[in-house]
Amino acid sequence: MDERVASVLAEAADAEPYEPRYELASEELRSLYRTEAQTTRRGEARPGLWMAVAIYVLFSATDLLLIPDVAAYTITARFAVGLTALLILETQLRHGVGTEWLDITCAGAIIFGYVGWLSPAVMGADKESVSYYMVFGTIFMMSANLFFTFRFKVSIITSTIILCILYVVNYFVPSTLTYKLVFGTFYISCFTFTSYVNWKLNEERYNVFLNALEAKIQHNEATERGKALLRLSRTDPLTGLENRRAIDEKLRDYWSDWQRVGTSFGAILIDVDFFKKFNDCYGHQEGDRCLIHVANALSEMIKQYHGSIGRYGGEEFIVLARVERKEQIMDLAEAICSTVENLALTHELRRDGVSIVTVSVGAAFTRTQTGAKLEKIIHEADRALYLAKAGGRNCARLFDPTDPQSSDESENIAALLKIAIGQNLVSLVYQPIQDVKSDRVEAVEALMRLRMLDGTSVPPSLFIPVAERTGAILELGRWAIRTVCAELLADDHVRVVSVNVSPIQLKTPGFATSVATILGETGVAGSRLAFEITEGLEMEMHSDILRCISDLKLLGIKIWLDDFGTGFAGLSWLRLIDFDTVKIDRSFLHDCSAPNGKAMLQDIITLVRNRGHKILVEGVETDEQMALMREFGIDKVQGFHVGRPAPAASFQAKRTLRKRPFTVLKSA
């Protein structure tokens, strides 16, 4: 119902309680009622007439009892009128004539049924029986007013015709004056009563219609409010996309279709690169606008692939799309990267060589239905997203079960890392670091090793990323620092040990405090430790990281920059942090066989030396390379030419010094 009808209904509802409501209602509302009443009358016409004809014919029994001499004629008339009326009605229904014509047919059946029966009945020999038998004419009057749901006007006309016929017959039938007065009064009383009841019934039908209409409007409004609330509960308020609840339901539908009929699909996780930096630089309002722009662009693009997109939380989005081949889901993932990149939203604080907003994308495709679980495809997409971030961001990665970094093997390693320390599956080896001028081993680098329960070694390139992804690196890092102090530093077997530290550890609250606790418990001075921080995209200039590095330097711990030259952030870190030593990546040394490579290494050395840092070059493996390091005036070197990684026992045997007392000073 439209708003005009609703307003008219409200006016009718405000009427006085005892006034007829239809008098106050507008013609528009009346017209609506008539339209609905026509539908009702049309549905009731066929069963009503069939039932009336059946009763009409059954009254043939009274003809046989009261007017037997003309019963044959009256019964014939009953059947003729009844069958004719039914035939006409069925023909009209078949041809779909209007409801008004159906009403006229039923009303005509009442009138002609009465006349058809009455005409032969008055010819009966027993005039007294005939005169009393005429009282049954009121039944036809009541049928017009009460049995059929005619419009009030049709009912009045029909019952008035029957009343007139009754009076005409009553006048001509031989009877006393008293009889005529009594039955005449009965006829008019019956007409008045049934007409009044019919009027009240029509009024009540109209009131019922109004109440039903009001209830329907309220129901529709409640339904719309419910739908609106449901949409609200399934919609992300910022971007207008589906929220996690809605997308999870859709994921279950996709998964169910795949399990039942094999309709394959892909899941894609999207993460806005360096979004925290964007918020820090431009503010949260601009951050919200950024997410809205990204959401709108992706939503339009996903429509072309008939997929669904939702906000999965924070700066993360998820896309679901039905595809037949994994190549299609990869094309979609790359299209997502391109779509966001083409927005060209400025992001100047990234420090990775890119100055616009980009996204990292991880995709997964349904592979095998056997033993598969709903959460698996999202987990696989998440692992692919992690690899996309680790691979430099602004790229898409498809989950590959054969890739050690993303396969189920990494999950086995994640489980192994949880028990590695308790089961003594993790250990440390140490690679010497030599001073070029003195040719003495001045320090060693602690390198972590992991073996499986059957003794098989797991490469660091495989388990370290898993440890960082799962957070196991935090416990492993504390264990490594404690072990280094206990195995080599507490008894002065070596002067300095360097330990690789993950950005995840530096960002963790309380990391510097935990290191101070370990130093105090083992009696080792902080100056005996060096923490190597790897230059890379994961090493963001986060305020928590800078604060943690400052706290570590207060403990006396040396901070080294590892793998310098392999990332984009190295120069910024050299400017912000006073590193004790900068380790130049081995790739630059190995490129020195070419003149350009040698020149590049010289340029890097000059740059670092001008900043006042000590220089350590990795990967020295030959006498020629060692000679080149002396030529360039390098401070320290590391590589197979100096020494391979070895267990702590190798260094304990080489250097046994008198242990100097160490006192932990407590602040006043």
User: Do 394 and 415 reside in the same domain of the chain?
Assistant: no
Q: What is the pLDDT of residues 258-277, one digit of tens each?
A: 888 888 899 999 999 989 88
User: Do 567 and 456 reside in the same domain of the chain?
Assistant: yes
H helical segments located in 234-373 = 244-261, 275-282, 284-303, 326-343
Flag whether 361 is in a domain.
yes
Of residues 565 and 422, the one with the higher pLDDT is 422
- Residue 272: name the closest of 286, 255, 251 by CA: 286
Helix (H, G, I), strand (E, B) or coil at 280: helix
Of residues 364 and 353, the one with the higher pLDDT is 364
Q: What is the pLDDT of residues 229-240, one digit of tens each?
A: 767 778 888 998
Measured from the Cβ of residue 232, the count of other Cβ atoms closer than 10 Å reads 10
Q: What is the pLDDT of residues 193-235, one digit of tens each?
A: 888 887 888 788 777 777 877 788 788 887 788 777 767 778 8
Host domain of residue 389:
244-406
Give the per-residue pLDDT at 260.
85
Give the per-residue pLDDT at 480.
95
User: Do 87 and 200 reside in the same domain of the chain?
Assistant: yes
pLDDT mean across residues, the chain = 82
Flag whether 426 is in a domain.
yes
pLDDT above 90 for 304: no
> Which of 52-66, 393-407, 445-459 is most confident?
445-459
User: Do 459 and 520 reside in the same domain of the chain?
Assistant: yes
pLDDT above 80 for 9: no
User: Do 389 and 422 reside in the same domain of the chain?
Assistant: no
Buried b (16+ CB within 10 A) or exposed e, 71-102: bebbbebbeebbebbbebbeebeeeeeebeeb
Flag whether 69 is in a domain.
yes
User: Do 485 and 518 reside in the same domain of the chain?
Assistant: yes
Q: What is the pLDDT of residues 589-636, one digit of tens each?
A: 888 888 888 888 898 898 888 888 899 999 999 999 999 999 999 999
Of residues 390 and 164, the one with the higher pLDDT is 164
For 400, counting Cβ atoms within 10 Å of its Cβ (0-12 exposed, 13-18 middle, 19+ buried), the class is middle
pLDDT above 80 for 6: no
User: Do 445 and 363 reside in the same domain of the chain?
Assistant: no
pLDDT above 50 for 24: no
Q: What is the pLDDT of residues 525-584, one digit of tens each?
A: 999 999 998 765 445 556 678 889 999 999 999 999 888 876 545 566 777 788 899 998
Give the per-residue pLDDT at 541.
54
pLDDT above 70 for 352: no
Q: Find the CATH number of the domain harbouring 379.
A: 3.30.70.270
For 146, counting Cβ atoms within 10 Å of its Cβ (0-12 exposed, 13-18 middle, 19+ buried), the class is middle
Domain count, the chain: 3
- Residue 140: name the closest of 111, 167, 103 by CA: 111
334 a catalytic residue: no
Q: What is the pLDDT of residues 452-464, one digit of tens each?
A: 888 888 888 888 8
Give the per-residue pLDDT at 444.
95
Flag whether 2 is in a domain.
no
Give the per-residue pLDDT at 95.
86
User: Do 401 and 435 reside in the same domain of the chain?
Assistant: no
Mean pLDDT for the stretch of residues 352-366: 88
Q: Which of 343, 372, 406 represents a domain boundary (last residue)?
A: 406
**Biggest distance spanned by C-alpha atoms of the chain:** 154
pLDDT above 90 for 280: no
pLDDT above 60 for 4: no
Flag whether 343 is in a domain.
yes
Q: Which of 391, 406, 421 represents a domain boundary (last residue)?
A: 406
What are phi and psi for residue 371, nearest 5 degrees?
Answer: 65, 10
User: Do 378 and 433 reside in the same domain of the chain?
Assistant: no
Q: What is the pLDDT of residues 630-665, one digit of tens each?
A: 999 999 999 999 999 999 988 886 554 444 444 444
Flag whether 522 is in a domain.
yes
User: Do 336 and 360 reside in the same domain of the chain?
Assistant: yes
User: Do 453 and 401 reside in the same domain of the chain?
Assistant: no
Flag whether 236 is in a domain.
no
pLDDT above 70 for 668: no
Residue type, 567: G
Give the per-residue pLDDT at 454.
84
Give the per-residue pLDDT at 3.
46
Q: Find the CATH number of the domain harbouring 526.
A: 3.20.20.450
Mean pLDDT for the stretch of residues 97-110: 84
358: left (phi over 0), alpha (psi -120 to 50) or beta: beta
Please tell me what DSSP assigns to residue 335. H
Mean pLDDT for the stretch of residues 340-351: 86
Within 8 A by CB and 6+ apart from 394, the residues are: 273, 337, 341, 354, 358, 359, 360
90, 214, 315, 327: the active-site residue: 315
Whole-number Å distance between alpha carbons of 540 and 551? 18
Give the per-residue pLDDT at 662.
44
User: Do 499 and 602 reside in the same domain of the chain?
Assistant: yes
Q: What is the pLDDT of residues 462-505, one digit of tens each?
A: 888 888 878 899 999 999 999 999 999 988 889 999 999 988 88
Flag whether 617 is in a domain.
yes
Whole-number Å distance between alpha carbons of 213 and 211? 5
Q: Which of 406, 436, 451 represents a domain boundary (last residue)?
A: 406
